[in-house]
Structure 1
Amino acid sequence: MIVEPGFVSTELTDHITDPRMKAAAQNMAASMRLLRPEDIARAVVYAVTQPEHVAINEILIRPTDQTR
């Protein structure tokens, strides 16, 4: 299964070393309501608890405010 999350409220931006990229990511994140880690966890639980005959192959999950 592939999980493709959009912006999630984590410490990821703390690890960006390029100052311009860090500022861009922080500005973009500040402009929207971010997903929470538990939103991603809930989606994964949904996918792995389906009946044996159901295959969830891909989850694309983004904040409703995220346009790209």
Structure 2
Amino acid sequence: MGWLNSFFSPLKKLWFRVNSTQKKRRGIYILYEDVKSCPYEDVHVLWSILVESHPHTLQPKQ
């Protein structure tokens, strides 16, 4: 049974990594929706600074 565990262990790690990435993106999208609905201009400016500093991880879904 040790060989079976060693076979599925990398797959389990990959699954957790992909699943946690999707949750992070979903959380960023929820935050983006909150920022978009906020009436204060300074919040929008701070969001744009955040997006420009992390262009690969914070691209909201259109």
TM-score (norm 2): 0.33
TM-score by length of 1: 0.31
Q: Write 1 or 2 for the structure with the bigger share of strand.
A: 1
Q: Pick 1 or 2: higher relative contact order, CA cutoff 8 A, min separation 6.
A: 1
More helix by share: 2
